[in-house]
Amino acid sequence: MRTEMAPLESRITDELRLIPRWSIACAIATFVAAQYYFWVLLPQLRHTSSHIPLVLHLYLTTSLGALLALYFLMVGYITQDAPRRGMNVRVWMICVIIPGGIGAVLYFLLRQPLLASCPSCSAKIEGDYHYCPHCSYQVSGCCGRCYASTRITDLFCTRCGHDLASDHPPERLQAFVSR
């Protein structure tokens, strides 16, 4: 139910699926254009053959092309990722477009947790909530003594050792109902 419980590979696949087609197309076009510029246009403009070794030349042009392509993928990703975290897309687009990648680094440092929907009232709730703030539906397990988050398979609180069964949590939040 909660995103943290999905295995790492499926989480990465889900994240990659967010990248819209237009940004993938832009990324491919940018990569091809960069290669065309370095291998076809630039040698013609200089009228002299490059003195850089071929392997190094290949490495530099591929890296630069990949970097430019990555930029478009990231812009596409952020247009999809920001709304589901309740973040302002326009403000972040402006930050990310700033050259040097500082805006993108800031985005990943400062981004808000994913918003989920309450199964009971459909209100938008943050991923680390234990209860829905609108209808008090319990969305995730927590310890009745210290209020730490608990997992569905836990029998005792990992922070204070409290017996979680004594809190009588709803059955959907317990993996082992009867012991």
Considering the rule CB under 5 A, would residue 162 count as an interface residue with Zn ion? Answer: yes
Considering the rule CB under 5 A, would residue 116 count as an interface residue with Zn ion? Answer: no
Of the pair 3, 158, the CB lying nearest Zn ion is at 158
Q: Copy the structure tokens of residue 162.
A: 């409290």
Q: How far is the CB of 166 from Zn ion (least distance, A)?
A: 11
Q: How far is the CB of 159 from Zn ion (least distance, A)?
A: 5
Considering the rule CB under 5 A, would residue 121 count as an interface residue with Zn ion? Answer: yes
Of the pair 82, 125, the CB lying nearest Zn ion is at 125
Considering the rule CB under 5 A, would residue 155 count as an interface residue with Zn ion? Answer: no
* Residue from the set 12, 18, 135, 155 that interacts with Zn ion by CB under 5 A: 135
List of residues contacting Zn ion (CB under 5 A): 118, 120-121, 123, 132, 134-135, 137, 143, 145-146, 148, 157, 159-160, 162
